Amino acid sequence: MIEIHDPNKLDFTRWIRSGDALVASQIHAEPVTLIRRLIEQRAQVGPISIFVGPVIADTFGPAHGDFITFHSYCGTARNALLADAGVLDPVPSHYSEYPRLFERGAMRCDVVLIAVSAPDHRGRFNMGVCNDYVVQAARRARVVIAEVMEGLPWTCGAELPDDIRPHVLLRAGAQPVAMPETGQGSEQERAIAKGVAGIVPDFATLALGIGSMPNLVLKAMRGHRGLGIHSGAIGEAVVDLMEAGVITNESKPVHQGVSVANLLMGSQRLMDYIDRNPRVRLEHTSFTHDIANMRAIPRFFAVSSGVEVDLTGQVNAEVANGRYIGAVGGQADFVRGANLSPGGASIMMFSSTARGGKVSRIVSRLADAVVTTPRSDVQFVVSEFGVADLRGKSLRQRVQAMLPLAHPDFREALERDSSGSPRRV
């Protein structure tokens, strides 16, 4: 039986025990009312741990590390504040693994905090903007506490499974935190997006990451025809191309005519567009990130990025100067799926420099010795200075293909550092 609570009177000590491991739904589906109530009562229920995705609301902060240990798959968004304060302990697993890790008990979950949209006429809830590991976490949890978020869209495919029934329900009236629409980007970013668009053919199916660059890549593809979407995440640029008839999903063997993703991250316009829209579907991680499903899609292209790439193609997408700012995420899943697709390929995109041009993101050696995607999997690399096709190339050939992608201020030093035996790179 579901207990319905006033958000101002919810006593977490009834439901959470000291030492419990919590999991909260992520990004726009973060149950902000529940989280704020938890923060208020953390001294009474703690110490506890909580697994979160990218935090975009102004909820968790470094000061809350007194009674809460934070775990996450990423150091992006406001998680960077937690990482810098030393209270975030990242879990470096492939995104596709998290459902299995919870399912098998390798990652504990005692209590799930989840946001849902208002129930339909059947009394069924919807997870709105994500269909992810929280499902398996909820199946292992002792307690599921749900917040009905009034502005959360009802998204096809994201229905809360019938075997998961909340023990506690809050009707708080909160709205999901939306992100601003992305702008036009810098000249450098637009050049990278144009380079990526030049590799992708008509009638390709795309997987993209989150953030401004994937949206700019899609904007650069307005002249394409018959594109499809099978992605971990999508943003509002997908809306533009669907409305313009560029994204039709006509060439996919499954879900023809439907853009498929695992989660949504973007503006209010994106959430309004996907609400009860049968042309957009959120499939579970076990479907979207399955390599067998990706390799069955002809002309499947995975577009990714990272913190830095070395001259042989090794990609670090996690750490910069010892700070965990990125993620393992689904990069390896989608790269390998695209590499196996008939006519498909994987694409890595990088701006050539960072910190206002002071450091090169194309390096002779990865500074933090973190390899998120090995060079054996990397095919195309794109910077604002061009495209390197690394397929079938030796170590020396890769170096020669990568050097022109670096900023001219760093090329000479990179070439000098990489000269000699291939063992040096």
CATH superfamily of 187-424: Acetyl-CoA hydrolase/transferase C-terminal domain (3.40.1080.20)
Written as tens digits, the pLDDT of the chain (425 aa) is 566 667 778 899 999 999 999 999 999 999 999 999 999 999 999 899 999 999 999 999 999 999 999 999 999 999 999 999 999 999 999 999 999 999 999 999 999 999 999 888 888 899 999 999 999 999 999 999 999 998 899 999 999 999 999 999 998 778 888 887 777 889 999 999 999 999 999 999 999 977 789 989 999 999 999 999 999 999 888 999 999 999 999 999 999 999 999 999 888 899 999 999 999 999 999 999 999 999 999 999 999 999 999 999 999 999 998 899 999 999 999 999 999 999 999 999 999 999 999 999 999 999 888 999 999 999 999 999 999 999 999 999 999 999 999 999 999 999 999 875 444 44
Q: List, by residue range, all CATH 3.40.1080.10 domains of the chain.
A: 3-171
The answer to whether the bond into 47 is cis (omega within 30° of 0) is yes
For residue 423, the model assigns a pLDDT of 46
For residue 87, the model assigns a pLDDT of 95
- Find, among 233, 254, 262, 338, the residue nearest to 294 by Cα: 338
Q: List, by residue range, all CATH 3.40.1080.20 domains of the chain.
A: 187-424
CATH 3.40.50.720 fits 3-171, yes or no: no
